[in-house]
Structures are given as structure tokens and as C-alpha cells.
């Protein structure tokens, strides 16, 4: 019947909207905007064996499959997880591992995280999904006051290490206030949790498996725009990627660019623009783990380049770029050739129709590059 309604609706609309179509002078511009990016696939490490073409939701699904298959205590749960999840990350897993291991939770984020802490505390591996990062805040108390402090407050008698919280985050083109946020900085302020953000399918699977197996509670933000738009040859087997290790994805001499998630791809294109138009050589670093972050890799790069640009979608004020800038000016003060630049979302909620103006897009980052080299 759902189909019936849809068909009826389409027919109805076809009749009417086709007439309308001619009258409308002001359709949205389809011009390719600088907030968009071209996804350049990574090459999988040959040591990880056979590969297959996957987008990021399939890579996450593959990682979850391995986690469930290799650890009989592991369970996967959250809102709408049972039928495959609203982003299809858990598709097929209920049928494969049973409804007692892959299940729907009632609609309560604080419940989901607390339930996960309980599972972890009792020795099970808990993989919790929060449907959107924008909705993680009812669980903030459980993360900030419980998960992060379990080990410390009990003198290591108890811990919540086997808990991993997966959640889609970031801009998607039309998500507005409550389907676009990048709240990593809130969680970077919590000693005791790890915060990880992958830039694509290969990283997503390897980093997710690392988080699930890590002895500390992890929050794994999945940039939702990459679920379908990023496609790579992903190793089908079991592999992990190290946490707290940044990765230099483009080497360069003049400017260090630090980003994570979707923004890495923006930075890579800006680096290419800078090379082409300004003859400026940029080193692009994917931080990958936000907490505890790899300051050594960033500092080493800045020692070499003398300039640092950090960009993220989250608002400027108190974004994680502030932490990096502060640390690097302390570590590399005498190496710096220019003040550290940050290009971030503005200090407003994430807006709907203004998204193209809000994002730290290529042109804004490119302008920051010019500022850094012209200082």
C-alpha cells in the first residue's frame, strides 16, 4: 500500500508538476559548489589481503560483521538497528547473528549508552548506535560522568572499555540544525574516552575494529556524507588501523593542513589548488583520532613547514582546532612562520539554506593558504 500511495502520488504530481515546471524561473542552482569535494580513493595495504569494492556503510557493515563473528560476547544495538539501520550499516547482521545479538532498542539515547556501559561492565562487547550525532546529547551524562570515569573511580576494578558508540555526524547538504552537527569537541573534553573519525571506507573498517577491541570506551563518528559517496577497494578480512596515529596523506613543505573526516577531502583538493595556482606545497594530515590525538606527527610536520592550517565543520569557538593550535604554538613556537590559521563553521547553529555559506569550503581554506604564505 505504501507503494500504491507512492504511485498515486507520482501520477498526481506528474500531471501537475510538469505544468508547474515550465512556470518556475527560479530553480536552485545546480552549479558545482566549492563545498563539494571529489573523493579520491585510498589504496588498501597489500598485507590486508583480498579486497572488494565497498562504500563506507558497507565497510562499516563488514567491520561489524567481523566484530560479531570473532567475539561471541559482542552485541549490536540502537534505534532501528534490527532492520539494517537508517544508514544501512547493520544490514543483514540480525539474520546472520540472531535477534539476541543485533537488536532494536527503545528510542532513548541515554538508555542506549547506559545499557552499553552495563554490558561492558559485565564483560560483553557493546556496540551501540546513536542514530545521529545530533541526538547523542541525552547520553552526555552517561558518557561524561559514567563511561569515561568507570575505570578511574573504581581504581580499575571496573571499566567500560568494551563499549563503542557509533554515530553518523557532519554536513550532508540539507541536514540543517539537527542532522549536520560535528560534536567531536564536546567529547574531546572528556578524559577517559577515545574519539575517532574516519575519512573513508578502508579507514572506517580498520579504525572501527580498533575501537571495538580497544580497552577504553570509544566514540566513533562516521561522516554520513561518505556512507555512499566514498568508494574504495576494502580488505574483506579482519584488520585494524592504529588509534591515536595521524596519517600524512599528502606530503608537502610549505604548509601543514590538519583535518579529519570529510574535511580531509576538502583539504586534499585545496592542497592541489595551492600547488597548481600558487606553487605552494601542502602537507595534508588526517588526524583520525581526535582524543588522544597524535600531536607528535602534527608537530613534526609543522617543524618542517612552519605553517599550520586546521579546518573543521564544527563552529570555530572551542572547536578542536583551538586545542591543536594552542598545543602547536607551544611546541613549535620558534618554527612558525605565520600565525596558525583555523577555517571552521561559523559560531551559529548549523543552518539549512545557508549551508553553502557556512561550511569551511575549498575557497575559504584556499584563502587561508594565501594568508599563511603571504604573512
Binding site for other proteins (CB under 8 A): 1-5, 8-10, 12-13, 16-17, 19-20, 23-29, 31, 33-34, 79-80, 82-84, 86, 103-111, 134-135, 138, 173-179, 316-317, 346-349, 351-354, 356-358, 363-364, 367
Q: Confirm if 134 and 155 have CB atoms less than 8 A apart.
A: no
CA–CA separation, 170 vs 165, rounded Å? Answer: 16
Q: Confirm if 272 and 81 have CB atoms less than 8 A apart.
A: no
Nearer to other proteins, 31 or 100 (CB): 31
Q: Confirm if 341 and 293 have CB atoms less than 8 A apart.
A: no
CA–CA separation, 78 vs 69, rounded Å? Answer: 19
Nearer to other proteins, 109 or 214 (CB): 109
Cα–Cα nearest to 229, from 170, 286, 167, 285: 170
C-alpha dihedral over 94, 98, 102, 103, to 10 degrees? Answer: 100
Nearer to other proteins, 122 or 177 (CB): 177
Q: Confirm if 259 and 287 have CB atoms less than 8 A apart.
A: yes
Nearer to other proteins, 213 or 312 (CB): 312
Nearer to other proteins, 214 or 313 (CB): 313
CB 343 → other proteins: shortest distance, Å? Answer: 10
CA–CA separation, 304 vs 267, rounded Å? Answer: 18
Residue 179 is a catalytic residue: yes
CA–CA separation, 30 vs 26, rounded Å? Answer: 11
Q: Locate 71 and state its grid cell.
A: 567475539
Cα–Cα nearest to 323, from 301, 298, 303, 306: 298
CB 360 → other proteins: shortest distance, Å? Answer: 11
Catalytic residue among 79, 109, 323, 355: 109
Nearer to other proteins, 44 or 116 (CB): 116
CB 209 → other proteins: shortest distance, Å? Answer: 26
Residue 233 is a catalytic residue: no
CB 94 → other proteins: shortest distance, Å? Answer: 11
CB 258 → other proteins: shortest distance, Å? Answer: 21
Instruction: Return the bridge partners of 145, or none.
Output: none
User: Strand (E) positions, 84-181?
Assistant: 102-104, 126-129, 163-169
With a CB cutoff of 8 Å and minimum separation 6, the contacts of 219 are 143, 164, 165, 167, 187, 193, 194, 195, 196
CA–CA separation, 53 vs 202, rounded Å? Answer: 10
Catalytic residue among 79, 129, 146, 179: 179
CB 262 → other proteins: shortest distance, Å? Answer: 18
Q: Confirm if 304 and 337 have CB atoms less than 8 A apart.
A: no
Residues noted as catalytic: 109, 179
Amino acid at each position: 500500500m505504501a507503494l500504491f500511495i507512492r504511485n498515486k502520488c507520482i501520477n498526481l504530481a506528474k500531471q501537475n508538476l510538469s505544468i508547474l515546471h515550465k512556470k518556475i524561473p527560479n530553480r536552485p542552482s545546480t552549479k558545482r559548489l566549492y563545498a563539494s569535494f571529489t573523493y579520491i580513493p585510498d589504496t588498501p595495504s597489500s598485507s590486508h589481503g583480498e579486497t572488494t569494492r565497498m562504500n563506507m556503510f558497507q565497510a562499516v557493515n563488514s567491520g561489524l560483521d567481523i566484530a560479531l563473528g570473532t567475539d561471541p560476547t559482542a552485541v549490536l544495538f540502537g534505534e532501528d538497528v534490527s532492520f539494517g539501520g537508517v544508514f544501512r550499516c547493520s544490514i543483514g547482521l540480525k539474520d546472520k547473528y540472531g535477534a539476541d545479538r543485533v537488536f532494536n532498542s527503545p528510542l532513548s539515547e541515554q538508555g542506549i549508552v547506559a545499557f552499553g556501559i552495563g554490558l561492558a561492565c559485565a564483560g560483553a562487547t557493546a556496540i551501540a548506535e546513536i542514530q545521529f550525532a545530533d541526538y547523542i546529547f541525552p547520553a552526555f551524562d552517561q558518557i561524561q560522568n559514567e563511561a569515561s570515569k568507570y575505570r578511574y573511580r573504581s581504581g580499575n576494578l571496573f571499566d567500560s572499555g568494551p563499549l563503542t558508540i557509533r554515530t553518523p555526524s557532519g554536513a550532508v547538504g540539507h541536514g540543517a540544525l539537527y542532522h549536520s552537527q560535528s560534536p567531536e569537541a564536546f567529547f574531546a573534553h572528556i578524559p577517559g574516552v577515545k574519539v575517532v573519525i574516519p575519512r573513508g571506507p578502508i579507514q572506517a573498517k580498520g579504525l572501527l575494529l580498533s575501537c571495538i577491541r580497544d580497552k577504553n570506551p570509544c566514540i566513533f563518528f562516521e561522516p554520513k556524507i561518505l556512507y555512499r559517496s566514498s568508494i574504495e577497494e576494502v580488505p574483506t578480512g579482519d584488520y585494524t588501523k592504529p588509534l591515536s596515529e595521524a596519517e600524512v596523506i599528502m606530503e608537502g613543505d610549505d604548509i601543514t593542513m590538519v583535518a579529519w573526516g570529510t574535511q580531509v577531502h576538502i583539504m586534499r583538493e585545496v592542497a592541489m589548488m595551492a600547488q597548481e595556482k600558487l606553487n605552494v606545497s601542502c602537507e595534508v594530515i588526517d588526524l583520525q583520532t581526535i582524543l588522544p590525538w597524535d600531536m607528535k606527527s602534527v608537530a613534526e610536520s609543522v617543524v618542517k613547514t612552519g605553517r599550520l592550517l586546521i579546518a573543521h565543520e564544527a563552529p570555530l569557538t572551542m572547536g578542536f582546532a583551538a586545542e591543536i593550535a594552542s598545543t602547536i604554538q607551544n611546541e613549535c613556537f620558534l618554527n612558525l612562520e605565520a600565525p596558525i590559521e583555523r577555517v571552521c563553521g561559523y559560531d551559529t547553529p548549523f543552518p539549512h539554506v545557508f549551508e553553502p555559506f557556512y561550511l569551511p569550503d575549498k575557497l575559504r581554506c584556499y584563502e587561508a593558504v594565501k594568508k599563511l604564505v603571504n604573512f
